[in-house]
Copies of this chain bind each other. A is one copy, B any other.
């Protein structure tokens, strides 16, 4: 595992006092950081904080590998039904660890329909042979509206084609005991994997919900866990000034207190693109909170922004360099690529192409990263770099674990609960009411009254 965090470009001596951080400031926070580290250790010990233990659960990896080996030849397609934390991690693993065009030449073809867009799902159904498709339903409670509706939609086709044998094409990953999927599994003898009780959705990428599709697509999940396990050691250092998760959290919370409420995640690698999306949920849902632990209203949280280098230099960087200085930008950089073909100027009469002669695309990509870093730093825009030696299972496991631990630290430093999501409830209840679910009549009436009162401004 070779992943490191370079935070030189947030330090005052490099980007100036106005937008920089004095190392003293971080050291002042280190006492709080040590308490945070202890508090996290206590939560790990008393079993309320489960994600730290996932990398060392080798028996579960074995079970996943046995299962995927046993079913691989039965299915030509794999359809992953889950949303939010049940989809973003699995998707990030797919795009970082398998061939971009895997579906063009490998089986089972992998699909991740993480939305209830009817036309999008209908187009997916056209692509698969239902009889040879494994539907992996992922939901802790089983009651997530989108996941339930997508399951019922696919069940129309499963029932039609397989009759009462439909259950042979289902796999569930859910709560160890409770929930609707367990009821269905019991009735129909459906294979279930488990999400431990103490692991929240956005911290669950290293449970079977991520491992099963990764293994099916041929990724080395043992190496993935090994990388995470090695990173876990660094992120549990009680000497927090040497703990990268604390340092990342400290820098971001200091900047939040100074009004920099945007966290840009900008990998210079297409393979890492969906990690930004996964980080987006992790950071937004964990840290975006109205109340602190003492129920004071604080309305805190950084808005995550996904970017991609070098592409977004031609889209976002103008704003990052010249617009409001309200962001902390994290680059992800890959040192070594597999493709090292040397560029040649095939148009020698175009002298302006000469500088590319003899170079590699990787050389260009990393020069662009360096150039953007320089432009931002010269303009006092704080930026950090997570550098990995290559895009490998070990390094991806380490990176994912690092962000999870950093999020946990940030929650402690902000004195909030990073592991709940109370703000999602209101929308859920309104959805149930609008869908006419039993028991939500009062809310429905409230909504109808509000709608009828509303003056319309429409053009």
Contacts and interface: CB of A to CB of B under 8 A. Distances in A.
B315 A280 contact: yes
A147 B238 CA distance: 47
A44 interface: no
A176 interface: no
Contact of A356 (B4, B301, B428, B435): B435
Nearest to A104: B127
Nearest to A245: B459
A218 to B, nearest CB: 14
Nearest to A450: B374
Given A424-B313, A438-B355, A184 B347 contact: yes
Nearest to A202: B315
A53 interface: no
Contact of A308 (B115, B247, B354, B423): B115
A372 B326 CA distance: 26
Instruction: Give the secondary structure class of A's interface.
Output: helix
Contacts of A306: 306
Given A299-B324, A370-B434, A430-B374, A391 B288 contact: no
A45 interface: no
A143 interface: yes
A123 B99 contact: yes
Interface stretch (A66-74, A205-213, A221-229, A357-365): A357-365
Interface residues of A, number: 151
Nearest to A337: B118
A368 interface: yes
A381 to B, nearest CB: 11
Given A84-B315, A355-B432, A375-B427, A300 B280 contact: no
Question: Closest 3 CB pairs between A and B?
Answer: A84-B314, A288-B319, A301-B323
10 contacts: A118-B362, A143-B352, A148-B352, A152-B343, A156-B346, A284-B316, A317-B427, A354-B437, A374-B426, A379-B426
